[in-house]
Chain A
């Protein structure tokens, strides 16, 4: 009787051990899968820096981290009804922008560029809109610029005024970062020019840029 009970106990013990082993194996596989996914995400995703708005904290000394200063309340600008129209000087493009942002253009500029002072860069290094002459660029746009190493993603878009084109982002040479979005719009009846809009706005200004891009028109 005792021997039989001992045998049963042994079988139950062995069963428990097997169950524990199976559970541990399943857990390890599960953790490996999740860990693998996270590893893959961390290696492949290309993010952007996002700083908290307003008065916040970046580091104990305030020196290691330099936070870009927001020059405007972009949330308010994007929702504002006070938007006005800017018209190109050499080309007949036009778009809407907040009245509070003063358009900056350049004398005798063949690319008819315009920009706003919305970041810390000098305006000439941070152009919002340029008219690109297709024949003067490489077929692969990024190859024309030494700081870029490739195309990250591209997708076709149509803005609210019916202009068709592409939204593209490029890989920055020597780092894991990606450029901000670039919009290229085709002009009907003139295959040699593209309206190029670069995202010069800080993250908080994304909604302003979206509204501006959607208002872009080209008059024949």
Chain B
């Protein structure tokens, strides 16, 4: 029976392969894959807009080289067509294999924990519309990340923390979202095993990391790798990247229109506020592992991982529509770890979570590629509907948090109160001068927009300082030095989203000493 269901899921996937899906993503895979196959990983990272982890580049490399065996990728009328069946097949077959890998792990985990219904829950996962839509229809690779993460959990059940660490390191070098789990992953190893095991796990992780990033340290290109690790922090600086969450509602149902550098609480912008909230919830997730009994710690690690992924999607700005995907696997293993004891409740929760994720992705696809989905509503009506989808997902988040964390918080309320006090303290400290009506330096506020012809505006330093440490210099005008200010170069336009919080601007401006006294610039202020 279950074999039949899994076979049905497999056949369905094969038939869905020809769908072009999210065309922009597939076009990126093609471009990056061709670059890494032709020029290598370092060239890819230094010369293109590649912003995925280095491990994923090897996958694209493999696909690019395999494609070359069967067809000519330089045939522009074939390779770049959105219905390029060979490319779609080569890419999506890996997604299908990841799905199969997750199914296999779900069954293995259930057997290892001596729990029933592994086959049933694996079949539900395999036929889940949200899983099908994210992977074989859209063409995204969230299943890679989930597959590897579940594999690491399987090794933990098998009491093999070092193997788990190797797989986990590959996981976050394959899909960025897994980076989120790094602190709680090693905290769990420390809690469940020992400090010695923690050090050993670190060592094997470091070894795995060194092997995967071999070309970077071998060719002395570690700076490129560092840049790759940080480049995403402001790639899309918006409230929400079609993730239907609280930020989407706060943006007026147009999350990619409002900069997350807009001030939301005193002089704290949306991004900072989201980060603080996320930190608070991450602390609760960490505490849940730290205070757990040794024998319960893996169960609590799974539960905390679910909280981390929920907080990541709901509390941070710049969240994508797909970022809850891991939850589709976590909720299933809730049952095996007895986090959720009733099978019907597990399936019910999985259905609710899946519905939210599916609708979020489906509507997002309708916004971007209306030809890829059937959607009978106009753009404006759809935008209104996103309010209800957002509310649905927020309620699901609150439900999960209350259901699985309320008793923990009741038992350990002093810790949570202390964390909340630190959270509030940070908000107040950051806004101290603002609340007292004192002047606030613009250097303390992040601009919502910057356009500059040469280098970038520098805070409390000359514009040349942007070239590197050896060019660092203080701001000055004819050798009169300023402790604070912005070093910019014409033409430069710097915009702030102050939200009508201020009534007066006092400023001084001039040509920096290092530019010489022959230069001229015009300084304008617009409101």
Contact = CB atoms under 8 A, between A and B. Distances in A.
Interface in A130-155: none
A53 interface: yes
Nearest to A63: B74
A34 B10 CA distance: 12
Interface size on B, as a range, is 35 or more
Nearest to B378: A160
Nearest to A54: B49
B370 interface: yes
Interface in A74-89: 75, 79-81
Contacts of B80: 49-51, 58, 65
Contacts of B49: 52-56
Interface in B35-58: 35, 38-39, 44, 47-49
B14 A47 contact: no
B23 A57 contact: no
A64 B89 contact: no
Contact of B28 (A34, A38, A52, A211): A52
B39 A58 contact: no
A169 to B, nearest CB: 10
B367 A52 contact: no
A56 B18 CA distance: 24
A207 interface: yes
Main secondary structure, interface of B, reads helix
Contacts of A58: 31, 34, 76, 80
Interface in B60-92: 73-74, 76-77, 79-85, 89
Interface string B417-445: 00000000000000000000000000000
Contacts of B160: none
Contacts of B254: 79
A41 interface: yes
Contacts of B257: 79-81
Contacts of A75: 256
B89 A60 contact: no
A51 B28 CA distance: 8
B517 interface: no
B367 A56 contact: no
B318 to A, nearest CB: 15
Contacts, number: 111
B26 A50 contact: yes
B6 to A, nearest CB: 14
B76 A57 contact: no
Interface string A16-53: 00000000000000100010011001100111111111
B32 A57 contact: yes
Interface in B351-401: 367-370, 378-380
Contact of A214 (B26, B89, B378): B378
B27 A50 contact: yes
Given A45-B18, A59-B74, A65-B74, A51 B27 contact: yes
Interface string B1-29: 00000000001001101101001101110
B14 A53 contact: no
Contacts of B15: 34, 37
A92 interface: no
Interface string A179-220: 000000000000000000000000110110011001000000
A4 interface: no
A66 B23 contact: no
Contacts of B82: 47-50
Q: Which of B11, B15, B83, B378 has the most CB of A within 10 A?
A: B83
A42 B76 contact: no
A42 B85 contact: yes
Given A47-B20, A49-B77, A66-B76, A56 B83 contact: no
Interface string B319-361: 0000000000000000000000000000000000000000000
A48 to B, nearest CB: 6
Contacts of B34: 57-59
A57 B47 contact: yes
Across the A-B interface, the 5 shortest Cβ-Cβ residue pairs: A47-B83, A57-B35, A56-B31, A52-B31, A52-B27
20 contacts: A37-B15, A41-B83, A46-B83, A47-B83, A49-B81, A50-B80, A52-B27, A52-B31, A52-B49, A55-B47, A56-B28, A56-B32, A56-B48, A57-B39, A59-B38, A60-B74, A64-B76, A65-B80, A160-B380, A207-B367
Given A47-B81, A60-B39, A81-B257, 18 more contacts: A38-B89, A42-B83, A47-B82, A48-B82, A49-B76, A49-B82, A50-B24, A51-B80, A53-B28, A53-B49, A58-B76, A60-B38, A60-B74, A64-B76, A65-B76, A65-B79, A160-B379, A204-B24
Interface of A: 30, 34, 37-38, 41-42, 45-60, 64-66, 75, 79-81, 160, 203-204, 206-207, 210-211, 214
Interface of B: 11, 14-15, 17-18, 20, 23-24, 26-28, 30-32, 34-35, 38-39, 44, 47-49, 73-74, 76-77, 79-85, 89, 254, 256-257, 367-370, 378-380
